[in-house]
Structure 1
Amino acid sequence: RFRAAETIHTESAYKYTIEEFRLIAQAAGWTPLRVWKDELNLFSVHELVAP
């Protein structure tokens, strides 16, 4: 149940360059392999390998 006018947080979006994301992934122990991106560089999908 929700109270009247109660707020709900639904999303946190963070924007990183491809290189920034790769560095974050590596710092967390992942190995970046490949990256797919759209023509305008608005989004990307990263392939990471677990240690």
Structure 2
Amino acid sequence: MSHIFSSSHPSVIEMINDEELLNIYQLAKEASTSDDFIEILEEVMEKRNLIHFYK
């Protein structure tokens, strides 16, 4: 399921830097947040080629 919407305006998650994104992802996993939120983060990480840090 893809949660990232095509828009001329980036989402807030897409605007944060790589380090912040990885930090949020780690905290989200540790806190057992919703699968949907984790999936959104992973999609952004994949777009930035960062997913290999945690998969």
TM band (smaller chain) = 0.3 to 0.5
Asked which structure has the greater CA Rg, the reply is 1
**TM-score, normalising length: structure 1:** 0.38
Structure with the larger strand share: 1
Structure with the larger helix share: 2
**TM-score, normalising length: structure 2:** 0.36
